[in-house]
Amino acid sequence: MAEGNVPADVPEARVVTFLDKAMAFYPDTDAPQYFAYGGEQVPLSVWSLPKTLEACRKGEDPAQQETGEDETSAEIVSGKKRRPASSNASKQRDLLFGEIWRAKNLPNDALSLPRHPLIRSIAFVPSSDETESGTLMASVVVGTKDGVIRVYEPGKKNARHVHEWQIATKNQGAIRVLTPSLKDNLLFVGDSARNLYAVDFKAGRVLFQYKDITGTISSLLVLSVQEEKERKTFLLGASLDRLVRLFDIGTPYSNGQRRRGNTLCSYFTGVENAIAMAAEKTSFTVHREPTEEEADEENLWTNMAVVSEQANNDESDEDSHKEKRSKRGRS
């Protein structure tokens, strides 16, 4: 097409880059009430799942809702009403419909340049103080592209992170997966450089690193198993080398230290895996209408059974007649 013949309504070509985003739900049941959301350039936020779904069912855009309608959601986190915005900057931070908390932007770096969140993974860590129903007291942990873990506490009306720890070697591995173990205050961290760490969630200290991990960990699940004398905790992990591994979590000893955990067994599946825990054991039967070919084959076998049964009956009748004739001849 000639340059002068290009239609005026053809939009200009643009390059669209899709950045990684992450999401986590809380509580970890079949009926979660909250979800956390963030990405490389998206600040962390926590949402009320029922309110967000309500807006979606009505076909409404949460971004178009008036922020005043969500004061009750903000009260769930802080227990107080939000003060009205008094400046343009605060107006831009007004929560959307269903959104109950949002993290502030990170402080600028040493060159006064803005820092992006770079969020790659998110996990909720429940708090032992969570006693009031409907109140979110869980901490939210995020893992970043540059190997950092940040801890937020939405329930304490704090929009900035309360801890920041460098776990993986900087610029050598992004935090890909986070899984907490509440019993021992452990946080299991897998990065994109094929490392799996056990971190003290209270102090942010790496307790140990698992050995012989040959693939990037893609999914983790903490298992609590009741044995004869005690309840033990194990870690189940899937990785991109198509292996599923079962780990122990080490044993604690003096001064908050912990002995290194080991790989107990591994299984090669041949396919990429993800791990999830079912809330309860259920079974179901799938009913499917047979195809025409299957129906004809089934009828064929049914008719054959009837014919075979009739033939056996005829044969038995003939044998009985022969036996009667034999007895008459003898008499």
Mean per-residue pLDDT, 274-297: 64
Of 183, 198, 319, nearest to 247 by C-alpha is 198
What whole-number distance in Å separates Cα of residue 228 and Cα of residue 233?
A: 14
CA distances from 310 to 166, 305, 313 (A): 82, 9, 5
Amino acid 177: pLDDT? 95
Tokens representing 174 are 């992004």
pLDDT given at position 313: 59
Q: Which amino acid is at 230?
A: E
The whole-angstrom distance between residue 173's C-alpha and the CA centroid of its chain comes to 21
Tens of pLDDT, residue by residue over 182-211, are: 777 899 999 999 999 999 988 899 999 999
H helices of 62-135, where? 71-78, 88-92
**Residue 242 confidence (pLDDT) above 60:** yes
Kindly report the pTM of this predicted structure: 0.70
Residues 6+ apart with CB under 8 A from 145: 20, 40, 118, 119, 120, 174, 175
Q: Which residues contact 25 (CB under 8 A, 6 or more apart)?
A: 32, 34, 35, 49, 124
Task: Give me the phi and psi of 71, to 5 degrees please.
Answer: -65, -35
Choice between 312 and 81, residue whose per-residue pLDDT is larger: 312
Whose structure tokens read 């540059």?
A: 146
Answer whether 143's CB lies under 8 Å from 119's CB. Answer: yes
Cα separation, 123 vs 142, in Å, equals: 7
For residue 329, name the pLDDT band (cuts at 50, 70, 90): low
Taking the CA of residue 166 as centre, how many other CA atoms within 13 Å lie in the half-sphere pointing to its CB? 5
**pLDDT at 270 exceeding the cut of 80:** yes
| Residue found by looking up tokens 């809702």 in the block | 65
> Which residue type, as a one-letter code, is found at position 213?
I
pLDDT digit string, tens, across residues 39-63: 999 999 999 999 998 888 877 666 5
Give CA–CA dist 234/11, Å, rounded: 55
How many Cα atoms occupy the beta-carbon half-sphere of 240 within 13 Å? 12
Tokens, residue 108: 């600028």
In contact, 137 and 130? CB cutoff 8 Å:
yes
Measured between alpha carbons, how far is 153 from 105 in angstroms, rounded to an integer? Answer: 15
SS3 1: coil
Give the model's pLDDT for residue 265: 94
Whole-number pLDDT of residue 311: 54
Rounded alpha-carbon distances, angstroms, from residue 51 to 10, 21, 69, 97, 219: 39, 21, 11, 7, 29
pLDDT for 13: 57
